[in-house]
Chains A and B, each alone.
Chain A
Amino acid sequence: MLEISKIRGEFPILSEKVYDRPLVYLDNAATTQKPWPVIRCLEEGYRRHNANVHRGVHFLSQTATEAHESARSRVGRFLNAASAEEIVFTRGTTESVNLVAFSFGETYCREGDEIVVSVMEHHSNIVPWQMLCERRKMRLKVIPMNDRGELQLDEYEKLLGPRTRLVAVTHVSNVLGTVNPVGEIIAIAHRHQIPVFVDGAQAVPHRKVDVQALDADFYAFSAHKVYGPTGLGVLYGKKKWMDEMLPYQGGGEMIEQVRFDKTTYNVLPFKFEAGTPDFIGTTALAAALDYVETLGMGEISDYENQLLQYTQERLAALPGMKIYGQAADKESVVSFRLGGIHPYDTGLLLDKLGVAVRTGHHCAQPLMERLGIDSCVRASLSFYNTREEIDALCAALERIRKMF
């Protein structure tokens, strides 16, 4: 059992007030708050260990390099990657998608080829593939979903053909909370010898992910969504692809030898890491992963699921409430609209009552179109949220409803 009041004490921002009201932070799918061990790690990094990595002969550079590379191994263990060289640090999930869309595209894709995505993708897992399709005169195909918000696997398999080069799909929907059966999606693609990219941004903070058990070819997530620092992301990629793929960006770190007639590239993972990496961020990410794994991914999952059930039950009881996403397997994200009230108005008034939620199209306009709406309100939960906070959300919504 998680001791929630003790955990809340480890997140200093949770005791902040907004407009003189206690902060109720329910925007965790956008970014999560940081516990003391992560904040301290960042501070210590700059105060005591700051030196550029991978090149200095001096003491500080060597300790910084060790910390950075040990963070890479930490991430590798977190995802159960076969080896740390399959872990590339990026600026975030978005950059991870762009890296694969570019490098995989340059290496393996030709005119007339196809990429398969799903209707519930975040724009970050649509636009880079569309750009690839435009560059290479390729086609994008879309896996549909049913009205509960679950991908239709029978339709999915029909989309796969001899020209399909890659399937890019989200593990968990950032709007509906749907947990997609990525293991099955990958197995189906692999039967056709097609690799799969998984956007894990909304999955990694909530459940244990094992890239080898899933047999994912690529898996990406963002540090800031799993209680780590902002501006840092991870790309896991199977060595067999990553070895062959052309580099994404050129610069320092990614080269073996530079000559004007011919430059040769570094080995994995450095081939994909041009420029000085965020070596202090990576150690803070390792601290964040230590933090969540010490709490226990199973414990986190259980607690968040109970809180999700409670939230959905309480919200559903409000008159005029419409919840989007009734998948059988859901993470702790609840999107809704309250009667005829515009989500912008709902979000704005919730804010004035101290409740932070996200409103809008959530960077998923094709999904909004499928749902027949242009926007919705999203409450997204973390293990530090409580039933009392959900009660505060519901009380605030009751009050708002009466204002219109």
Chain B
Amino acid sequence: MTVNEVQEDIIASFAELEDWMDKYQLLIDMGNDLKPLDEQYKKPQYLIEGCQSRVWLYARFDRESGRVFYEAESDTVIVKGLVFLLLKVLSGRTPDEILGADLFFIEQIGLKEHLSPTRSNGLLSMVRQIRSYAQVFKLKA
């Protein structure tokens, strides 16, 4: 599936839910499904510090396939749910796909506020970090 197809898929699964609480319930369930990050990556160099929550992000470049694989975790379940979605869209892609991705799904499912600079949850910095890893791997590839 392309980046946009995955995004459309996510939008469809949220579209059925009208109530905010149902959307968040789905997000919480996804957060609980997120594979825990290996303890060795829960270190300061992988930490993205938000004012209210923290995200750890680890990236690995697979030379053979030319793809970037991300693993991440957060201390809050809702942010974990959003991390789950972001990785679903962006992990396992080529640096060009990642750098060219327009992340429209977050706005479409009504969760844009989480990526606003005033939401001090570290997610916006995480998206930036995902892109800068892709940038670095692109130069190395």
B 112-132 contacts with A by CB, 8 A: 120-121
Whether the pair A352, B24 counts as a contact (CB closer than 8 A) is yes
Scoring B24, B76, B121 by chain A CB atoms within 10 A of each residue's CB, the highest score goes to: B76
Scoring B21, B32, B51, B120 by chain A CB atoms within 10 A of each residue's CB, the highest score goes to: B21
* CB-contact partner of B21 in A341, A343, A345, A399, under 8 A: A399
Residues of chain A with a CB closer than 8 A to B20's CB: 19, 352
Whether the pair B21, A352 counts as a contact (CB closer than 8 A) is yes
Whether the pair B24, A344 counts as a contact (CB closer than 8 A) is no
Whether the pair B78, A360 counts as a contact (CB closer than 8 A) is no
Residues of chain A with a CB closer than 8 A to B103's CB: none
Whether the pair B75, A403 counts as a contact (CB closer than 8 A) is no
Q: How far is the CA of A399 from the CA of B25 in the complex (A)?
A: 11
B 1-40 contacts with A by CB, 8 A: 20-21, 24-25, 28, 32
Whether the pair A359, B52 counts as a contact (CB closer than 8 A) is yes
B 37-68 contacts with A by CB, 8 A: 51-53
A 145-174 contacts with B by CB, 8 A: none
CB distance from A88 to the nearest CB of B (A): 31
CB distance from B26 to the nearest CB of A (A): 10
Interface size on B, residues (CB 8 A): 16
Whether the pair A404, B76 counts as a contact (CB closer than 8 A) is no
Whether the pair B78, A345 counts as a contact (CB closer than 8 A) is yes
Q: How far is the CA of A32 from the CA of B125 in the complex (A)?
A: 32
A359-B52, A360-B51, A360-B52 known; A342 vs B24 contact (CB < 8 Å): no
Closest to A402 in B: B25
Q: How far is the CA of A176 from the CA of B51 in the complex (A)?
A: 20
The answer to whether B79 has its CB under 8 Å from any CB of chain A is: yes
Closest to B81 in A: A345
CB distance from A127 to the nearest CB of B (A): 16
Whether the pair A349, B77 counts as a contact (CB closer than 8 A) is no
Whether the pair A375, B21 counts as a contact (CB closer than 8 A) is no
CB distance from B53 to the nearest CB of A (A): 5
Besides A342-B77, A344-B76, A348-B78, 8 other A-B contacts (C-beta < 8 A):
A342-B76, A344-B79, A352-B20, A352-B21, A359-B52, A361-B51, A375-B52, A403-B28
Kindly list the 10 A-B residue pairs having the minimum CB-CB distance in the complex, ordered from nearest: A342-B76, A352-B20, A344-B76, A344-B52, A344-B53, A345-B78, A360-B52, A345-B76, A345-B77, A403-B28
Residues of chain B at the chain A interface (Cβ within 8 Å) = 20-21, 24-25, 28, 32, 51-53, 75-79, 120-121
